[in-house]
Amino acid sequence: MSFHEVQFPTGISYGSRGGPGHNTSVIELDSGAEERIARWSTPRCNYDVSYGVKSYEDLADVIKFARAREGAVHGFRFKDWSDYTSASDGVSAAAITDQTIGTGDGVTTTFQLTKTYTSGATTRTRTIEKPVSGTVLVEVDGVAQTEGVDFTFNTTTGLITFTTVPGIGLTIKAGFQFDVPVRFGLDVDELLDVSLDDYSSGSVQRISVVEIKDEAPVDESFFYRGSQVFDPMSANVSITPNDGAVLAFNVTTTSLEIQLPDPANYAAGGPYHFVTNIGSQTVTVKRSTTTVLTLGIDTWGTLVIGLDASGAKTWYGF
């Protein structure tokens, strides 16, 4: 699996249909009351681009594009004409003050492009990973920055890197255009259902395009591996995905730590590990210096990867 930094033909995407969707489980009780559970932390966009195919030339372009991507194997960039700029309405020209992407701390030089969506008192933040080259505007504390001199940006990740560290408390704002990272749907992967209507035109039944929520590949065996017992655990331990899904620690020494791997290298979700303490001493599960979970004597815990308030992946323990 890889991502091809190529944009789907914009003339065809202009006529597409689709937008963001959520995954919510609704449990209805006999009384009529219900419980709603959000399965995704952020929405996922889905599109049908078949509506944009207006000519045989369009159809030929889609066939070539799908062949080059090997169906659903390789991701690509997609312009959502209903939401492609940092402006609040998604279509107006980007302005340098559109989005606040961070506050200087005197140390950090790299900041992630984001877009916020506000309705009433609720605000949701979207990570922008595919900004369009030549469209990114940045200011620090009201002072416009010059691309290539004061900052650079990565069109494949949406990361802004400053030449000089922004001072403590200085507000960093940005404006930009962006694409959506997507892949073809499994319907296209199985069959691109094309028909020739006459000698000069053609049509296709459906061409689904699905937003890629996490490009980090995870081997299937990651979720189907066995267990391991650390017996005894008399020193700090750093675990890896290959250590097993169920981990038992016979902790015999006080003040020991279990160190987790960097969550940025893995897809958000889980559970990744079920951990238990079968020893006589309490042990802490950490990522770097942050405590994720404390395992008391004869207790269990579950470790998953989620997103924090800034959209970064982080370990959570339950």
Return the higher-pLDDT residue of 190 and 299. 299
Note the pLDDT of residue 221.
Answer: 47
pLDDT value at 215 more than 70:
no
pLDDT value at 17 more than 70:
yes
* Average pLDDT of the residues in 300-309: 90
Note the pLDDT of residue 199.
Answer: 47
Residue 316 CA to residue 291 CA, distance in Å, equals 9
Residues 6+ apart with CB under 8 A from 56: 196, 200, 201, 202
Note the pLDDT of residue 316.
Answer: 94
* Average pLDDT of the residues in 224-242: 83
Answer for the pair 29, 51: CB distance below 8 angstroms, yes or no: no
* Average pLDDT of the residues in 136-157: 96
Note the pLDDT of residue 195.
Answer: 60
Tell me whether residue 244 is exposed, middle or buried, using C-beta atoms within 10 angstroms of its C-beta: 0 to 12, 13 to 18, 19 or more.
Answer: middle
Note the pLDDT of residue 31.
Answer: 86
pLDDT range class, residue 214, cuts 50, 70, 90:
low
Asked whether the bond before 271 is cis by omega within 30 degrees of 0, the reply is: yes
Chain segment 245-269, per-residue pLDDT in tens: 899 999 989 999 999 999 887 788 8
**3-state DSSP percent of the chain in helix, strand and coil, to 5:** 10, 45, 45
Note the pLDDT of residue 270.
Answer: 78
Note the pLDDT of residue 184.
Answer: 94
pLDDT value at 34 more than 50:
yes
pLDDT range class, residue 193, cuts 50, 70, 90:
low
Return the higher-pLDDT residue of 276 and 202. 276
Distances from the Cα of 296 to the Cαs of 109, 193, 318, in angstroms?
Answer: 39, 58, 13
Note the pLDDT of residue 203.
Answer: 59
Average pLDDT, rounded, for the chain: 89
Asked whether the bond before 217 is cis by omega within 30 degrees of 0, the reply is: no
Answer for the pair 294, 284: CB distance below 8 angstroms, yes or no: yes
Tell if the pTM clears 0.75, that is, is over it: no
Residue 44 CA to residue 53 CA, distance in Å, equals 23
pLDDT value at 295 more than 50:
yes
pLDDT value at 224 more than 60:
no
Chain segment 58-109, per-residue pLDDT in tens: 888 989 999 999 999 999 999 999 999 999 999 999 999 999 999 999 999 9
Return the higher-pLDDT residue of 271 and 236. 236
Q: What is the 3-state secondary structure (H, E, C) of 235-292?
A: CCEECCHHHCCEEEEEECCCCEEEECCCHHHCCCEEEEEEEEECCCCCEEEEECCEEE
Chain segment 39-68, per-residue pLDDT in tens: 787 899 999 998 888 888 888 898 999 999
pLDDT value at 196 more than 70:
no
Out of 17-26, 39-48, 206-215, least confident range: 206-215
pLDDT range class, residue 37, cuts 50, 70, 90:
confident
Parallel, antiparallel, or unpaired: how do β-strands 290-295 and 299-307 relate? Answer: unpaired
The DSSP secondary structure of 14-79, one letter per residue, reads TT-EEEEE--EEEEE-TTS-EEEEE--SS-EEEEEGGGG--SHHHHHHHHHHHHHHTTTTSEEEE-
